[in-house]
Structure 1
Amino acid sequence: MDAMNEMLSRAADRTIGVVRGIGDDRFGLPTPCTEYDVRALLGHLSWVAAMMAALARKEQVPPQDTEPAALEGRVRDMVAAWADPAAFEGESPMMGLPMTVVFQMGLGDLVFHGWDLARATGQDYEVDTETAEATLAYIEQMAPMARQNGVIGEEVAVPADAPPFERALGLSGRDPAWKP
């Protein structure tokens, strides 16, 4: 579990770094997630982090609150919640999925949306090899169900020899070459 928590912590640091680089004047910019502009995506990610922290603690999920200003604190709380080995035990009563899969969902949201925000605002977003490979393995497993439930878009074709994170982006319905 230590390696997973380290991966989540690195992803949190990267994404928070991107968030800190976003001024209010960029809130209206489009993102690779066509249903969200930057402000809405910040709000979505803020709520996802709060939800993932509650799920890790086996607590009631809070009402949806998409306040972008709360994002950094919620992401830090998410990392702290998943640092407890008990977070990985059993299944999520809300989702009916093993808690290890719920963790992967949270990591995926943090990484994919961190990349989305970086792209939308002209920032870099580097993903380490371990996280790229874990994100690819997760999205390979979950993409069919996620697509069926309308959570992600249709796969974007990416060369088979592309780096793991680019392949993960394509599977998640994102074009690795997307620009605003």
Structure 2
Amino acid sequence: MNEMLSRAVTGAAAVARGVRDDQLDLPTPCDDFDVRELLGHLAWTAAMFEALARREQPPPQDADHAPFAERAAAVLAAWSAPGVIEGTSPTLGMPMAMVLQMVLGDMAIHGWDLARATGQDYAVDAETGEAVAAFVTATAPQGRRMGVFGEEVPVARDASPFERALGLSGRDPAWKP
């Protein structure tokens, strides 16, 4: 799982570094965010997921955070610590292994959102796509109730596992700005 997380986080960070100032107001496939807001969300989620790995209280959402691309290494270091996926998150009350799946899904899907919005290349390898699809499939109904996922978007019968995950999360894999 750590290799998949590394690929997802470093891929999303590379896309974040590639965003130009003139792209900040562009829409994204994630209806709640334009590019600027998505970068801010990624920065906050990186800080939150780093804190959760350390079993600390996450920072408030409106706090100032270092840019996501700068936080990527800290997130990876925190989730690479020995024993990090053992036990239950004291903050979320769920198994740490499930929290790690949340991190993977969030990084892979939002990395895709950002790449699509800004016209950058972004690929999710088959192993990561399968893992994200399994997590989103298991959590989509609850995610919709919580407002984390949108309504399911139908995808092609031959869609990849990651494209199925995108559809289940409320994104159209064919989305273009």
With structure 1 as the length reference, what TM-score do the two structures score? 0.94
* Count of matched residue positions in the alignment of Structure 1 and Structure 2: 177
Distance 1:59 1:68, change over 3 A: closer
List, as ranges, runs of 4+ consecutive aligned residues in structure 1 with deviation greater than 3 Å: 65-69
Displacement of 1:64 after TM fit?
2.1
Structure 2 unaligned residues grouped into runs of 5+: none
Q: Quick one: percent identity of the two aligned structures?
A: 61
CA contact (8 A) 1:160 1:167 kept: no
Q: String of CA shifts for 1:125-164, please: whole Å, max 9, x gaps.
A: 1111110000000101111110111111000001233111
Structure 1 unaligned residues grouped into runs of 5+: none
Q: 2:18 aligns to what?
A: 21
Farther off after superposition, 131-140 or 6-15: 6-15
CA contact (8 A) 1:39 1:68 kept: no
Whichever residue aligns with residue 69 of structure 2, its letter is E
Q: String of CA shifts for 1:13-66, please: whole Å, max 9, x gaps.
A: 211111111011110000011111000000001100110011011112122246
Equivalent of 1:56 in 53, 58, 69: 53
Q: 2:165 aligns to what?
A: 168
Matched, 1:100 2:97: yes
With structure 2 as the length reference, what TM-score do the two structures score? 0.95
- What is the RMSD of the two structures over their aligned residues, measured on CA atoms? 1.3
Farther off after superposition, 10-19 or 125-134: 10-19
Equivalent of 2:39 in 31, 38, 42: 42
Equivalent of 1:136 in 128, 133, 137: 133
- Cα distance in 1 for partners of 2:165, 2:128 equals 11
The secondary structure found in structure 2 opposite 1:88 is coil
